[in-house]
Structure 1
């Protein structure tokens, strides 16, 4: 009887340790607060837990693990297993994917942004670029075209942007500089304070970020159709951590990406955009629209020179700039059915 008790106890202990061995927890570094921009990561965490009966969990941290501009660094040293970052925050760290931040690239929908990003992420040069940080890209964070909210007199023409200090990163910053504005790069969490203190007079964001980071609270105007571009913000995994997953857990993670992105796009289009107009109306924010001739002149002035400068910069780094640009533009035409 005594021996049987010992056998039973040993078996119970063994099962406990076996259960612990199966459990996997990943820390995920985000920033700000839960919002449309992070809904695919939230959904991914939910799906992974469901598919593994809670054996694989993603612990989402909004700013508790790293500063947003240092998420790629944290991934590289294994400080956490997954993170979101924006290419424009540190262009030298991820030069190949900044092609998607070129101004007036011509992306029209979140679906196009999603498919274009995923196609680019699969290119060998991009994989090698991110491998320097021990990072594997899992999925994008598709966003619509950026536009500006600002303080003071609303611009009535593109000439009125002369001297305007504006938070704008990547290709959007290049576009604003081309019309005489003074672009400033700062993380999203710093923008509201910079606006309120007068450090900047305008900020370029997608609608969800204007709402989430409070830039519309004191804003006086909004550009409805400037549409200079958007930023590319991938979600990445530490490659070693990804490779160390069991086959079942890896399949649960990678096999949930499409569903997480479907949820993200539907949520952005049906929920976030539905709130945007009323949010402007409630605050009495003036909508500023520019005529077609002004927008065409803006695009002509910015798009070609920016693309050529990007290609030359990439080539100088030993990267296939022309090849990547040609791939992106050809893929976008394909997605548009052109």
Structure 2
């Protein structure tokens, strides 16, 4: 009996060790604070923990692990297992996905943005591009068309942007240059201070970011229908860490992406956009709307030249740039 009990004790101890070894915790590098932009990551963490009985957890950090411009670098060296970044922060590091940041692509919904992003993410050239950083693209952070909040006199025409310093990254910055604006690229967390100090007079953001980063607190105007484009901000994982997961944990992670994105879209289209109009009204921010003719002229000046330059530059860098561009524009045309 004593020997039997000893064997039971050893078996229980072994089982305990096995259970502990199976438990996994990933560190996730985000920035700012929990907001609409991070809802899918928060939901993913919740789902993964639920599906694995708490054996696989995502430990989300808002700025405690890395600077947001260095999240891809951190992924590459395994400093953390998951991160979010924006393509426009370092176009040279992820040129393949910057096709999604070209101005005036004509994307109209968050659902369409997800569809386009996932198609580009799964393209072999994109997979190889991110593999240079030991990174696997997991899911996008779909954002609506950007518009501009500014201080001072509201622009009455697009010509009033001439000489105006605007925080605008990627293709949006290139588009703003065509109307004489002076685009400046900086991370979202730097924007409020730059605006308060006069380094920039206007900021291009999606509605959630204007609210989250306080750009509307001192703003006097907002462009309602400029819609020059958006940015692409994927969530990536360290490829080695992904490959090292058990089948159960990998399925819990990958199998929760769609539900996490559905939650994100519902939240953005609901609570976030419901709060946007009242936030402007409470601060007496003037809503600026440009004529159809001005928007058409802006698109004509910005869209084709930006696309041609992107294709030329990235073809020279070894990417199948025309193929990626045709993939995106073809899908948009098919949806229209």
TM-score by length of 2: 0.99
Partner of 1:176: 176
By how many angstroms is 1:318 displaced?
A: 1.2
Partner of 2:67: 67
Q: Does 1:217 align with 2:211?
A: no
* CA distance, structure 2, for counterparts of residue 79 and residue 219 of structure 1: 38
Partner of 2:154: 154
Partner of 1:206: 206
TM-score by length of 1: 0.98
Unpaired runs of at least 5, structure 1: none
* CA distance, structure 1, for counterparts of residue 11 and residue 125 of structure 2: 51
* CA distance, structure 1, for counterparts of residue 77 and residue 119 of structure 2: 27
Partner of 1:315: 315
Partner of 1:138: 138
By how many angstroms is 1:21 displaced?
A: 1.3
Structure 1 SS opposite 2:226: coil
By how many angstroms is 1:7 displaced?
A: 2.6
Deviation string 1:100-146 (CA, Å, 9 cap, x unpaired) is: 00000110111110101011111010000000000000100000000
Structure 1 SS opposite 2:166: strand
Partner of 1:41: 41
Partner of 2:58: 58
Q: Does 1:30 align with 2:46?
A: no
By how many angstroms is 1:5 displaced?
A: 4.3
Aligned CA RMSD, in angstroms, stands at 0.8
Deviation string 1:140-171 (CA, Å, 9 cap, x unpaired) is: 00000000000000000000000100100000
By how many angstroms is 1:334 displaced?
A: 1.9
Partner of 1:290: 290
Unpaired runs of at least 5, structure 2: none
Count of paired positions: 336
* CA distance, structure 1, for counterparts of residue 250 and residue 310 of structure 2: 36
* CA distance, structure 1, for counterparts of residue 25 and residue 108 of structure 2: 37
How do 1:64-103 and structure 2 match up within 5 A?
Answer: 64-103=64-103
How do 1:168-317 and structure 2 match up within 5 A?
Answer: 168-317=168-317
Partner of 1:109: 109
By how many angstroms is 1:13 displaced?
A: 1.5
By how many angstroms is 1:331 displaced?
A: 1.2
Structure 2 SS opposite 1:28: strand
Deviation string 1:51-75 (CA, Å, 9 cap, x unpaired) is: 1111110000000000000000000
Deviation string 1:184-236 (CA, Å, 9 cap, x unpaired) is: 00000000000001111000000000000001011110000000000000000
By how many angstroms is 1:2 displaced?
A: 4.4
* CA distance, structure 2, for counterparts of residue 319 and residue 131 of structure 1: 14
